[in-house]
Chains A and B, each alone.
Chain A
Amino acid sequence: MKRLLAILLIALTLALPAAADIAYEPPVTDFYAAVSEKVARIERHYLANAEAGYVAMREKPDGNVLSYYKNGEQLFVYGSYTSEGVLWGYIARDQKGELETPGWIKLEELSLLYTQVEFRQEHAGEQLKTDLSAFEWPAETEYVYIFEYPGCGEAKRKYELGGKDHTQMGNALSFHWKDEQGRQWAYIGYYMGQHYGFICLDDPQNPAPFAETTPNKLVGDVSLYPAKEVPGTVEAESIPKGSLKPLAGGLVAAAVGIAIGLLLAIFYGKKKEDRR
Chain B
Amino acid sequence: MTLLLSLGLSLMLTEFFELLLALLFKKRGRDLAVVALANLLTNPPLVFLWQLSGKNLWLLLAMEGLVVLIEGFCYQKCTNFKRPFLFALVCNLISFLIGELL
Contacts and interface: CB of A to CB of B under 8 A. Distances in A.
Do chains A and B interact in one complex? yes
Contacts of B74: 263
A252 B44 contact: yes
B99 interface: no
Interface residues of A, number: 26
Interface of A: 27-30, 59, 64, 100-101, 235, 244-245, 247-249, 251-252, 255-256, 258-260, 262-263, 266-267, 270
Contacts of B45: 252, 256
Contacts of B55: 29-30, 101
A208 to B, nearest CB: 39
16 contacts: A59-B1, A247-B4, A251-B7, A252-B44, A252-B45, A252-B48, A256-B44, A256-B45, A258-B40, A262-B37, A263-B41, A263-B74, A263-B77, A263-B78, A266-B30, A266-B34
Tell me if B's interface is mostly helix, strand, loop or mixed. Answer: helix
B4 A244 contact: yes
Contacts of B77: 263, 267, 270
B78 A266 contact: yes
Please classify how large the interface on chain B is, using the bins under 10, 10 to 19, 20 to 34, 35 or more. 20 to 34
A267 B78 CA distance: 5
A259 B4 contact: no
Given A29-B54, A262-B33, 10 more contacts: A244-B2, A248-B7, A248-B48, A252-B7, A252-B44, A252-B45, A263-B74, A266-B30, A267-B77, A267-B78
Contact of B38 (A100, A258, A259, A270): A259
Given A266-B78, A267-B78, A30 B57 contact: yes
Interface in B1-52: 1-4, 7, 11, 30, 33-34, 37-38, 40-41, 44-45, 48, 52
B2 A256 contact: no
A227 to B, nearest CB: 24
Given A29-B54, A29-B55, A247-B4, A266 B33 contact: yes
B41 A259 contact: yes
B1 A266 contact: no
Contacts of B34: 263, 266
Contacts of B2: 235, 244
A255 B44 contact: yes
A112 B78 CA distance: 61
Contacts of A101: 54-55
A262 B35 CA distance: 12
